[in-house]
Amino acid sequence: MLKINNLHARVEEKEILKGINLTVNAGEVHAIMGPNGSGKSTLSSVLAGNEKFIVTEGSVEFEGQNLLEQSIEKRAAMGLFLGFQYPVEIPGVSMANFLRMAVNSQRKTQGLEPIKAGEFLKMMREKAEIVELGDKLMGRAVNEGFSGGEKKRNEIFQMAMLQPKLAVLDETDSGLDVDALRIVATGVQKLRRPDNATIVITHYQRLLDYIIPDFVHVLYDGKIIHSGTKELALEIEEKGYDWIINK
């Protein structure tokens, strides 16, 4: 599904990604861990097409296409979803209006008719339940005045609405209390299917109690320096990163 090969990227004049290699197949969950400032958010931004970051070397193939050639919105319609570490507040744009536009824009790119109003409302109600988001948030502006936990649950709600092939969740667990973490994590778990894949970026092993990863990677200084299975996350929880970095 996703093949990242020797990916280098910079922001302004600073090189941040220094040769990332990663392959993700349908049905898999990959966890990416690593100290602050390693380049985890940069990797997700580069995949999404954030124009602040310039790719200087390497390639990314997604669903058999050259991902790096596509616009941000085309990547989304191809099935790439980014759960933002810091979801953006958009005053004046209602959740319902935003999601209808997002769903219909993606459908249009995929050659489908716009969704029927009744069907859309039903879908909103069903998907909101997955992350226990109440109806009242749907009438509000996107993320405006949402609590930290509501913003993160809203990311997973949008993921449920858009049904991506690949979701990259950037620290969706940070700043959540135990209950919110459980809601977010079981939400992601419910959305797992054999034909989609998830990359979870996290600092904490606790998320991986709910979302069991097939692979765990350590990103440090712009490179994946170590990969393993779910036991690696436990080991990191216990011993930190130094033993890997110093190897």
Partner 1 sequence: MKTYDITTQQHISDHIQVAGDIDIVYNIRAGAQLDLQQITTTKENAKENAKDSTKINITYNLEQGATLNVNTLDIDNKLLHRTQTFNLIGTGASANATGLYITADGEKSTNNIKMNHLNPNCTSSQTYKGLVGGVSEFLGHIFIEKDAQHTQALQQNHNILLNPSARVISNPWLEIYADDVKCNHGATVGKNDPDAIYYLRQRGIPELDAKKLMLEAFIDECVMNHPSKDELLELISAKLKTL
Ligand X SMILES: Nc1ncnc2c1ncn2[C@@H]1O[C@H](COP(=O)(O)OP(=O)(O)O)[C@@H](O)[C@H]1O
Residues forming contacts to ligand X in the complex (CB under 6 A) are 11-12, 14, 16, 34, 36-42, 52
Nearer of residues 43 and 208 to ligand X, judged by Cβ = 43
Q: Which is nearer to ligand X, 42 or 198 (CB)?
A: 42
In angstroms, give the least distance from the CB of 103 to Mg ion: 28
DSSP letter for each residue of 45-70: HHHHT-TTEEEEEEEEEETTEEGGGS
CA distance 66 to 47: 11
Quick one: tokens of 225? 């320096």
Partner whose footprint covers residue 76, from ligand X, Mg ion, partner 1, none (CB < 5 to 8 Å by kind): partner 1
Of 99 and 233, which has the nearer Cβ to partner 1? 99
User: How far is CA 23 from each of CA 27, 28, 29, 142, 234, rounded to the nearest angstrom?
Assistant: 12, 10, 11, 33, 22
Rounded CA gap, 128 and 160, in Å?
Answer: 8
Q: Binding partner of residue 88 among partner 1, ligand X, Mg ion, none, CB under 5 to 8 Å per kind?
A: partner 1
| Interacting residues toward Mg ion by CB under 5 A | 40-41
Based on CB atoms, which residue is closest to Mg ion, 44 or 106?
A: 44
What letters, b where the CB count within 10 A reaches 16 and e where it falls short, cover 184-211?
bbbbbeebeeeebbbbbbbbbbbbbebb
Q: Which residues form the interface with partner 1 (CB under 8 A)?
A: 48-51, 71-73, 75-77, 81-82, 84, 87-93, 97-99, 101-103, 105-106, 109, 141-142, 158, 162
Closest approach, Cβ 45 to ligand X, in A, equals: 7
